[in-house]
Amino acid sequence: MTDSWQISLCSMKPMPKCLLSTFCWFVGVGIVQSQTFEINDKGKIMPIICSSLLCCIGAGRNRSKTRKLHKIKGSFLVDCLIYSTPLCCCASVQEFNESTKRKEDRANVKHAPAPPMISNIIIDPEMSIINTFRSMEIDESARIEALPEMPKIVYLDDNNGNPLSKDTSADQPIDTLSNSDEENKEPESEKGGSHDILIPQRLTVVLKEIAIEPLDGDDPQIYSKNVGTGPFSFLKGDPYMPNSPPPTYLSHEDLKKPKSTDSKDIMYGLEVHKKGGLYCTDQEALNKQKGIVGDVIKQLVKVLAKGLGAVSISLPIRIFEPRSTCERLIDRFSFASHYLGAAAKETDPVSRFKKVMAFAISGLYLGTRQEKPFNPLLGETFQGTFDDGTLVYVEHTAHNPPTDHFDVIGRGYRLYGYYELDGSLSWNELTGEFRGFTYVQFPGQLIKFTQPKFMIGGFTFGDRTLNWQGEIEFWDHQNGLSGAIRIGDDKNKWSIKKKDIKRDSFFGKIWRVDPGTNKKGEALASVYGSWLKKFVAVDNKGKEKIWLINREVPKRHIPVDYPIPSDWRYREDLIWLFRKNQEFASSWKLRVENRQRLDRGLRGKH
């Protein structure tokens, strides 16, 4: 009887009964490990312990059924405890070691220092953005006198090499340099001075869009059926693959299609929730997000069967939008020209401070899309402008944690800083956190502030909600000012009656601060409103409605025509998704992610 009992416990016949628990174990481990590159380690030990317990329950249940078959007495709970003890111990030790290693890796990440403080910016509406910033002073007694002037271009006449007049040469295009032109070119010392560049009259430069037409073949969307990648590909040199052909690049016309400035269009598919904030009513968007867990499980089975790690899992392409985080980050800066440009023309530090606070709130509703942007490649960039000439630069500077640095240069102000993306996932809610500081530089004033948390709820039950929550803190050490805004339904702590407020409502204050002790003193102003409606400031001069969602119109950024090769627009997965080809987009996304993992491993060895 005993031999039969032992043989039955080891027999393969009862195994299908505990396959579900074993599968739960692999899913739990896979989810935890796949999240470690994106999410902090706080609370991450719980999912792996829970999956271990599920495995133990299944195994205990299987043992109970076998015992019942042989009429042997025992306890199901005792069986589960016996199985769970070693598994939980092993899982805890493994996760602890991995968690410690990842934290050490993050501790070793060195971020680029923030740009130096700028002062004495010359504000002149007639000056260009570049010329405005040629006359600036940097702290530590270092002065930028002026950027070196570009050499004067002198166009030569075809016959005798005499320089043309300014009017004649102003609109000369650039093309090719003929042999006769080369012969007519005279030494610099003889024409136009030692610092002039001599260019023949018929020398023209024609800027042309790259790879927007096929290299071979007749499909306008496929760059080549012989060459594996486009000229600026992250995977340049890889062979051609039929399931992921290289796309032709997006044209300027495609990239510059105007973005809506109407708040209803921007928040399409979203409605105001009865408790405040937003919730999704777009059934198409919700349907795209259904079945993600099932897709992840299918991928997990495939990668485990091939002997690959759980980090090889790629999220379904259908939940993404064809934009990079590098570009989407700028959406919330769409009121920079309006508020920061106006503040640059003022001289009162408190008035500027209020406008910066309004700027921080006014752009929040522009960052409430349901689709997920693509995670940038290391070194990926975005270059753009606003219609008033403001310059925009973004670069993805670190993977772990994901970090983006940005620099926006406007008329009389500069907006710069970095965001470290962190997150945590509960049973029904995802919390995103933008660590880092945003700096706003004016003549004689530097204001820095933090970002609120972004909450998405309803993953397992309830409405799919979207909210900004938490506290935004502001500092101006030079002028002895500080401020804070609290968003959400928490009890307020600034002498306001304790009552529940809507999730999108906020209250805040501006204080005078002692520069020596950094202690808050006199309250200079109070602010209140909703990030979905308005920003109102109240001081001894009265009430001022600085921002109203239906009054102020955001300026949407525009990509530049000819960016550097690291720009996001040259990514094949983004291009194919832009053209609504999810099959090719998914194949390219997986190839790019695998190359990133390979590069990350190689960098770790050096």
Ranges 149-158, 305-314, 534-543: which has the least confidence: 149-158
Mean pLDDT throughout 357-370?
94
Quick: pLDDT tens for 398-445: 988 899 999 999 999 999 999 998 877 777 788 888 999 999 999 999
Ranges 85-89, 122-126, 144-148: which has the least confidence: 144-148
**Distance between CA atoms of 385 and 408, rounded to whole angstroms?**
9
Ranges 46-60, 250-264, 584-598: which has the least confidence: 46-60
Given the structure tokens 């493994």, which residue do they identify?
94
133: pLDDT strictly greater than 50: no
Quick: pLDDT tens for 200-240: 555 556 678 899 999 998 899 999 999 999 999 999 999 99
Ranges 305-309, 382-386, 403-407: which has the least confidence: 305-309
pLDDT-derived band at 542 (thresholds 50, 70, 90) equals very high
pLDDT, residue 134, reads 38
Mean pLDDT throughout 455-479?
90
pLDDT, residue 144, reads 32
**Distance between CA atoms of 408 and 393, rounded to whole angstroms?**
6
581: pLDDT strictly greater than 90: yes
pLDDT-derived band at 516 (thresholds 50, 70, 90) equals confident
pLDDT-derived band at 287 (thresholds 50, 70, 90) equals confident
Quick: pLDDT tens for 90-105: 656 666 666 666 566 5
339: pLDDT strictly greater than 90: yes
pLDDT, residue 301, reads 73
Given the structure tokens 């099932």, which residue do they identify?
294
Q: What stretch(es) of the chain map to CATH 2.40.160.120?
A: 321-559
Percent of the chain with pLDDT over 70: 63
Ranges 22-36, 164-178, 295-309: which has the least confidence: 164-178
Mean pLDDT throughout 572-580?
96
**Distance between CA atoms of 109 and 218, rounded to whole angstroms?**
47
157: pLDDT strictly greater than 90: no
564: pLDDT strictly greater than 90: yes
Give the type of residue at 457.
G
Ranges 118-132, 294-308, 412-426: which has the least confidence: 118-132
Instruction: Kindly report the pTM of this predicted structure.
Output: 0.69
pLDDT, residue 539, reads 92
Percent of the chain with pLDDT over 90: 46
Write out the H or E segment, with its range, that includes residue 66.
Answer: helix 45-69
391-396 own/partner pairs: CB under 8 Å, 24+ apart: 391/129, 392/330, 392/333, 392/557, 394/326, 394/327, 394/329, 394/330, 395/326, 395/566, 396/325, 396/326
- Beta-bridged to residue 558, according to DSSP, are 385
Contact call for residues 31 and 57 (beta carbons, < 8 A): no
Q: Which residues contact 196 (CB under 8 A, 6 or more apart)?
A: 151, 152, 153, 154, 188
161: pLDDT strictly greater than 70: no
Q: What is the mean pLDDT of the chain?
A: 76
For residue 292, the 8-state DSSP code is: H
Given the structure tokens 């800083």, which residue do they identify?
417
Cα distances from 420 to residues 339, 384, 400, 404, 417, in angstroms, run 25, 21, 9, 7, 10
Q: Which residues contact 136 (CB under 8 A, 6 or more apart)?
A: 118, 119, 120, 121, 122, 144
Ranges 117-131, 396-410, 492-506: which has the least confidence: 117-131
**Pairing of β 320-324 and β 372-374:** parallel
**Distance between CA atoms of 61 and 77, rounded to whole angstroms?**
9
pLDDT, residue 84, reads 65
Ranges 36-40, 304-308, 373-377: which has the least confidence: 36-40
Mean pLDDT throughout 564-582?
96
Higher pLDDT, 501 or 45: 501
Mean pLDDT throughout 591-598?
90
Helix, strand or coil for residue 119? strand
Mean pLDDT throughout 52-70?
70
Given the structure tokens 């609109």, which residue do they identify?
171
Higher pLDDT, 421 or 605: 421
Write out the H or E segment, with its range, that includes residue 513.
Answer: strand 505-513
Higher pLDDT, 606 or 440: 440
pLDDT, residue 601, reads 82
Domain 321-559 belongs in CATH node 2.40.160.120: yes
pLDDT, residue 47, reads 56
396: pLDDT strictly greater than 60: yes
Give me 590's structure tokens: 């997986």
Cα distances from 394 to residues 386, 404, 421, 521, in angstroms, run 14, 7, 15, 37
Between helix 76-107 and helix 45-69 the angle, nearest 10°, is: 160
pLDDT, residue 288, reads 80
